[in-house]
Amino acid sequence: MSLTGIALILFLLFHASMNVVALISAEGYNMICGFLGANWYAVAATVGLAGLVVLHFIFAFWLTFQNWKARGTDRYAVTSKPKKVEWASQNMLVLGIIVILGMGLHLYNFWAKMMLVELVPCTGNHELATNGVYWIAETFSCPCYTVIYLVWLAALWMHLNHGLWSSMQTLGWSGKVWFNRWRAISCIVSTIIILMFAAVAVAYCFGYRPCDFNDVVNVANACHAGGLC
């Protein structure tokens, strides 16, 4: 579970870094979307990532079940929470479920309208499949979606923050000296990742657009005007 979690964190760091480009250049962001697109390496990476996600959450549910089974009826004997135990560590399963639901929404808003359309053109508008900046603006122009995403990102932050440093412990890379250091590093890394995601959502929600945005989305607008979308 530790290795799958670290792999997912590295993917999120890459994905968040890619998203930040949408704040600088619409054309640059769309170039990245076009480069990844539905090329064999992107499809292979997507399949691999999906496998990692499935494995990660199977392990999570299995460990949670094992913990409940080990406690037996004793889990009702103590109702007070230890002071040094974080809320996130006691609710990782709940946070994980919120993360899964958020991922489902994210796949619906972006992957299903981009990579899926490239793989199966009849499922959507092929002209917009690599126009990622258009879909960012389309999605986050709705305040409700922005709020839902921010709630999802808050849950993801808590999940990552606890998960990263606990993974270091599981792998044996944490001792008395490095325990607090790993906790600090985990907080910094997870905060940077989430802030990058949140910055794009909030900026586009409040109407921010990079200077070349209008030029890039002209294709999308022409598509709508022609009744192709």
Give 13-24 pLDDT, tens digit per residue: 899 999 999 999
- Spans of all domains in the chain: 2-225
As a whole number, the mean pLDDT across the chain is: 80
**Quick one: pLDDT band at residue 2, thresholds 50, 70, 90?**
low
Mean predicted confidence (pLDDT) in 84-98: 68
- The pLDDT assigned to 228 comes to 44
Residue 74: pLDDT band with limits 50, 70, 90 = low
Rg (CA), the chain: 20
pTM equals: 0.77
Confidence of residue 208 (pLDDT cuts 50, 70, 90): very high
Task: Give phi and psi for 211, each to the nearest 5.
Answer: -60, -25
CB 203 within 8 A of CB 23: yes
Return the minimum-mean-pLDDT range out of 25-29, 53-57, 211-215.
53-57
Is the per-residue pLDDT at 76 higher than 50? Answer: no
Distances, alpha carbon 192 to alpha carbons 141, 160, 184, 187, 198, in Å:
24, 11, 12, 9, 10
135 vs 109: CA distance, rounded Å: 8
Q: Which residue has the tokens 């030029």?
A: 215
Give the whole-angstrom CA distance, residue 62 versus residue 119. Answer: 34
